[in-house]
Amino acid sequence: MQVVEKRMLMSAAEIDRTLQRLAHEIVEKSGGAKDLAFVGVRRRGVPLSQRLAKLIREFAHIDVPVGTLDITLYRDDLSTVGPQPIIQSTDIDFAVDDRDLVVVDDVLFTGRTIRAAMNGLFDLGRPKRIRLCVLIDRGHRELPVEATFVGKTVQTSDSEIVEVRLQELDGEERVMLVDRVS
Amino acid sequence: MLERLQHLLGMEGLSREQILFILDQSKPFQEFQRHPLKKLATLRGKTVAVAFFEPSTRTRISFTTAAARLGADTMNLQAESSSLKKGESLIDTVRTLEAMRPDGIVMRHSSSGAPEFVSRRLGIPVLNAGDGTHEHPTQALLDALTIRDRKEKLDGWNVTILGDILHSRVARSNIHLLSKFGAQITLCGPAMWIPHELESLAPGLRRTTRIKEALDGADVIIVLRVQTERIHEPPLAAEEYILSYQLTTERLRLAQPDALVLHPGPMIRGLEIDPAVADGPQCGVLEQVTNGLAVRMALLYHLMGGAPTDAPHPAKDRSNADD
Amino acid sequence: MLMIKNGRVLDPATKTDAVLDVLLDGESIARTGENLSAPDAEIFDATGLIVAPGFIDLHCHLREPGQDISETIETGTRSAARGGFTAVCCMPNTVPVNDNASVTRGIAERAAATASVRVWPIGAASMGSKGEALAEIAAMKNAGIVAVSDDGKPVATARLMRQVMDYCNALDLPVIDHCEDPSLFAGGVMREGAQSIRLGLKGIPAQSESICSGRDVEMAGLTGARLHIAHMSTRGSLQYVRAAKKEGLRVTCEVTPHHFTLTDEDVRYDSHYKMNPPLASRADRDALIEGLADGSVDAIATDHAPHHPASKEVEFDRAPFGITGFETALALGLDELVHPGRISLLRLVELFTTGPAKVLGMNRKIAPGEPADLTIFSTDHSWTFRAAESPSKSRNTPFDGRAFHGAPMATIVAGRIAFRR
C-alpha cells in the first residue's frame, strides 16, 4: 500500500500533554481508582496504557495494573488474502472479574477492534465496567462504540489513515494523517 | 516472511522456522485453555471435515474439540460407518465430502501417503492426523511444545525413542522434527523393529537393542505404544517385551534426573510403561494432551482461517486495526 | 514389394553393420545389398536410420480375454508397434487363465483378426496358475504357445517346478519364472530399503527374488531344462544366472527398461512407480546394467502391464502392480545404455532381437528367406513421450512427459508397415 503524508495531527509535545490530561481525567472519573486496571490493545495501545499507568503513579501515587490484549482471535474481519495474522500473547495477570477496566488504544475508527477487545475480555471474566480511552477518535463508526476518554477528535475521510507513531515501537513520536494512493 | 503452509502433511518438509512459528502460535491457544469460557468465533462459519479412516478416539476428539473451540463446525467421517468399507475408493469418498464444501480436511488413514494423495486432488487444506506408518505431524509438534515448555528449550537434547520404531509414524515425525533442532536421537527396541535403514532418516541417529544403553543420560524419553491394530511383525509376547523394554522406575533412573517421559497414548500400563512411571512427576502425558489441543487449534487457525464474516471494509479497517 | 533404402543395417546374427538396401517380397526378405533396384517396389527411405531385425518382446500382458477394460490385443499391439516390436509374447494371467488349448486358440484368433504385430502366447505352467496340477501344456503347444509360465506369481513349489521343467523339456519349451518368495513378499509394495522406511511403505527385501531364482537354477541343474528368469531385478539373481551359464546350464534372463533406468529412490506416493518386481536399489540397478553389457543378461523385455486408469488412481498401498512399457523401451535403451556408452548399439539390438529369439529357440535375422520383420529406428530423433497419445488403453507409466533422443520410426511385420512415425 502506497501512502503520502498529508499533515501532522499531533507533535511529540502534544502527545505528551494529551496523555497527561487523559491520566488526570481517568483518575477523576474513576472514584478512587480502587478496582481500576488498564488493558492495552496490541500493539500501540500497549505503550500508551503503560505510559498512562506511569503518569498516574507519579502524580497520584496509585499503582494501576496494566494488561495487554491481542484481539486477533476475536476479529471478525480476517481477510482471505494473505496469511493468517500472527497471534501475539494476551498478558493479563490480574483477575478480570469485578474490575473497572479502561481499554486503551491509539485510534478509534469503526469500533470493530473495541468490539473484539470486549469479546476477549468477556472470555476472561465479567468486569464491573469497561470504558475506552483513545488518543485519536477519527469518526466513521460502524458499531455503537464510544470512547469515554478521548485525546483528540479529528475529521477524516475514508481513504485517509491516521498513523500514530510512538517512540517505543516506531522510534519517533507524532501522529500523522496520511492518504492512500492507488 | 515465512512461507505460508497450505497443508500439513508431515514434519519432513517443514523448516526449523516454520516449526518454531507453529509452536509460538500455539502459546496463545495454551493460554486459552485456561479461560473459563472456551469458545471463540474465529473460525465461525467454517466447517472442518474430520475424516478418520482408521479408528481413533483421542486424536479425533482432540481435533473436533479444537475446531469447536475455534467456533467451527465439524463433519465427521468414521471408518466403521464409512462407505470406504463398501468398496468406495478414497477419491470418491473424499470428493463426496468436498461436495459438501468443508474449508479443510483433517484425515487419518491406514495407507502411507493417503493425505498427500488427497491434497493433490482437492483444493482445500489437508491436515494429516496420521497416515499408515509414515507421519503423525501434530503429535511431533505437541511433543516438541511439551519438551520446550518443560525443559525451557528445544535444542540439543538427548532423545531416546523406545519401541516398535519400524512401524511407528509417531517415531518418524519426531525424528524429522527433533533432528532439525540438533537432538541426539537414540532408537531402542527389539532388533526387527529397529532396522539399519532408519539411520538414513537423520544424521547421527543411533540404534541399540539394549535399553540400559539407550536410557543412559537421556533427557527426553518417548515411549511408543505396543500396538495391536497395526500388527507387529513378528508378534512378540508381552512378557518378552516387558522383560527387555518396559520403562520401569529403575530403568528411568539411568536417564538424567530431570528426564522427561512422553507417550503418544493410549498407554497400556504395565506393558510398555510401569504405572509408577506413568503417574510419576517426570511423565508429561497430561501436558501432551493439553498441548495437543493448543497445537491443533493453532494449525486449524492458520490453515483454515480467512474470509470475512461481516466486515464491509476489510481494507479500510485494516489501516488502523491491524497493528 | 517393399524396399527399405539406404538404412544402416545392423544385424547381430549375420554380423552386418553397413548401409544397405533391404528388399521385402510378400512376407519374406528377398535380398539385401547395395543400391538394389526393384522398379515395382514401394520405397521406404531409411537414410540416417538403423534397420534392425524385428524386435521381440518376451514379456507383456495384453489382458485379453477377460480384462478388456485395461487393454485388448488390438490396443496393446498397436502400442507395441509404436514401440518398434514386431512380435510380443503375452503372459497367461488373463481371465480365464490361458491354461488350455481353447483359450490359446481364442487368443490366436483374436490376434489374427485385430493385432498389429505377431502375438506369441505363453501358456500357464499349472491349471489356473494355482500351483497344483500341470496345465494342458502339450495341447497348448499344438495351439501355438512358445513358452510356459505362471507369471504374476512364482511356480509354487520346487517340486512343481521340477515337474514342469521335466515335462517342458520333453516338449522343448522354455519355462519362464516370476521369481518371488511369498513369505518375504508378504504384502509389500516396494523394495525394502531406506526409501521404503522414509515413505512408511511395506518393503520387500531383494532376497525375495533371488531365493527363488536360486531355487529355479538348482532345478534347472537337476532337470537340464530351459529356464528363463523373468524381469530380473537383483544382483543376487544375476549371480545365480552367471553361475548357471558358467556351468553350461540352459538358463537365460531378461531385464525391463524401468529396472535399468529407475531405482527405489525414485519411488514416491504415485502408483505409476509401483510394479512387481519393484524398482531396485541403486547397487542392483548398476549390477543389471553390467549384466546387460557383459552378456549375462540375454534380453530386454517390457513386462508391459496395462491397468485401467481408475484402478491406479488410488492410494499406493491399494494400487495394482504394473506399468506400461512398449513405447518407451527402445528410447530408454538408447538414452540410458547406448548414449552414455555403457553398451554398444549392436548389443542393444541383440537384446531386442537375437537375445529373445534364442530364449524361444528361434532365429531372428536379416537374410533372404527370413520373415520380413524389421524395426527401423533413429538414434537421435528428439521427441517427448506423452501417455495420453498412446493407443494403449492405459496411462500407467512413470515416463509421461519425458524427453528422449532416439525412437522407433517404422515397424514392419510380415512385409507390412505396422507403424510409421
How much is the ipTM here? 0.83
List CB contacts (< 8 A) between A109 and chain B: 317, 319-321
Contact partners, residue B251, CB within 8 Å, separation at least 6:
B211, B212, B215
pTM above 0.90, yes or no: no
List CB contacts (< 8 A) between B41 and chain A: 74, 76, 119
Instruction: Enter the C-alpha cell of residue B200.
Output: 538414513
Q: Is the CB of B321 less than 8 angstroms away from the CB of A110?
A: yes
Query: Listing from the earlier edge strand, what are the strands of the sheet with B206-208?
Result: B206-208, B184-188, B158-162, B220-223, B260-262
Chain B residues contacting A, CB < 8 Å?
Answer: 2, 4, 21, 25, 27-28, 31-32, 35-37, 39-42, 298, 301-302, 305-314, 316-323
The distance in angstroms from the start CA to the end CA of chain C is 20
List CB contacts (< 8 A) between B313 and chain A: 110, 142, 158
* Predicted pLDDT of residue B95: 77
CB environment A15-44: b (16+ within 10 A), e (fewer): beebbeebbeebbeebeebebbbbbbbbbb
Give the residue among A103, A99, A96 at the shortest CA–CA distance from A150: A103
| Nearest residue of chain B to residue A122 (CA atoms) | B37
* Predicted pLDDT of residue B316: 40
Q: How far is B98 from chain C (nearest CA, A)?
A: 17
Q: How far is B63 from chain C (nearest CA, A)?
A: 23
Q: Are residues B22 and B94 in the same domain?
A: yes
C177 included as an active-site residue: no
The distance in angstroms from the start CA to the end CA of chain B is 17
pLDDT tens digits for range A131-169: 999 999 999 999 999 999 999 999 999 889 999 999 999
Contacting chains of B (3 CB pairs or more, <8 Å) are A, C
Query: Listing from the earlier edge strand, what are the strands of the sheet with C55-60?
Result: C55-60, C85-90, C118-123, C147-149, C175-177, C227-229, C251-255, C299-300
Q: Are residues B278 and B141 in the same domain?
A: yes
pLDDT tens digits for range A42-51: 889 999 999 9
Size of interface A-B (CB pairs under 8 A): 97
Q: Are residues B299 and B232 in the same domain?
A: no
* Predicted pLDDT of residue B80: 56
Q: Are residues B188 and B252 in the same domain?
A: yes
Single-letter amino acid, residue C310: A
Q: Are residues B114 and B155 in the same domain?
A: no
| Nearest residue of chain A to residue B45 (CA atoms) | A76
Q: Is the CB of B307 less than 8 angstroms away from the CB of A110?
A: no
Contact partners, residue B159, CB within 8 Å, separation at least 6:
B174, B178, B183, B184, B185, B186, B218, B219, B220, B221, B222
The alpha helices in C135-256, defined as continuous H runs, are 137-143, 158-171, 182-185, 194-199, 207-223, 235-246
Cα gap B237→A108, rounded to integer Å: 69
Q: Are residues B253 and B158 in the same domain?
A: yes
Name the one residue in this structure whose C-alpha cell is 520401569: B248
| Chain B and chain A touch, per 3+ beta carbon pairs within 8 A | yes
Q: Is the CB of B40 less than 8 angstroms away from the CB of A74?
A: yes
In a domain, B238, yes or no: yes
* CATH no. for A10-74+91-157: 3.40.50.2020
The distance in angstroms from the start CA to the end CA of chain A is 8
Helix (H), strand (E) at residue C2: strand C2-11
C19 to chain B, any CB pair closer than 8 A? The answer is: no
Identify the domain containing residue B148 by its residue range.
Answer: 137-284
Mean pLDDT by 10 residues, chain C (421 residues): 96 96 96 92 96 98 96 98 98 97 97 97 97 96 97 96 96 97 95 97 97 98 97 98 98 98 97 97 98 97 96 93 98 98 97 98 96 97 97 97 97 97 91
Cα gap C412→C36, rounded to integer Å: 19
Contact partners, residue B47, CB within 8 Å, separation at least 6:
B72, B73, B74, B75, B100, B101, B102, B103
Of A79, A106, A109, the CB nearest to B308: A79
Which domains can be identified in chain C, with CATH numbers?
Answer: 2-50+370-420 (2.30.40.10), 55-360 (3.20.20.140)
Going by their DSSP bridges, the two strands C374-384 and C403-413 should be labelled as antiparallel
Name the one residue in this structure whose C-alpha cell is 537434547: B157
At A89, is the pLDDT very low, low, confident or very high (cuts 50, 70, 90)? confident
Cα gap B320→A106, rounded to integer Å: 9
| Chain C and chain A touch, per 3+ beta carbon pairs within 8 A | no
Number of domains in chain B: 2
Cα gap C94→C106, rounded to integer Å: 12
Cα gap B84→C7, rounded to integer Å: 58
DSSP structure string for B80-149 = GGSGGGGT--HHHHHHHHHHT--SEEEEEESSTTHHHHHHTT-SS-EEEEEETTTB-HHHHHHHHHHHHH
* Predicted pLDDT of residue B322: 40
pLDDT one digit per residue (tens) for chain B, 323 residues? 466 789 999 999 999 999 999 999 999 999 888 887 788 888 888 999 999 988 888 999 999 999 999 999 999 887 655 555 556 678 888 778 778 889 999 999 999 999 999 999 888 899 999 999 999 999 999 999 999 999 999 999 999 999 999 999 999 999 999 999 999 999 999 998 999 999 999 989 999 999 999 999 999 999 999 865 544 666 778 888 899 999 999 999 999 999 999 999 889 999 999 999 999 999 999 999 999 999 999 999 999 886 433 333 334 444 444 43
Cα gap C134→C156, rounded to integer Å: 11
Of B31, B310, B322, the CB nearest to A76: B310
List CB contacts (< 8 A) between B25 and chain A: 86-87
Of B25, B306, B312, the CB nearest to A87: B25
Q: Is the CB of C200 less than 8 angstroms away from the CB of B134?
A: yes
DSSP structure string for A21-61 = HHHHHHHHTTTT-SSEEEEEETTTHHHHHHHHHHHHHHHH-
CATH number of domain containing B274: 3.40.50.1370
Q: How far is B127 from chain A (nearest CA, A)?
A: 16
Rg value, chain B, Cα: 20
Which among C150, C177, C216, C303 is annotated as catalytic?
C303
Q: Are residues B141 and B129 in the same domain?
A: no
Judged by CB atoms within 8 Å, which residues 61-120 of B form the interface with C? 89-91, 109-114, 116-117
Of C196, C198, C318, the CB nearest to B111: C318
Q: Are residues B142 and B271 in the same domain?
A: yes
Cα gap C89→C101, rounded to integer Å: 16
Q: Are residues B21 and B104 in the same domain?
A: yes
Q: Are residues B70 and B114 in the same domain?
A: yes
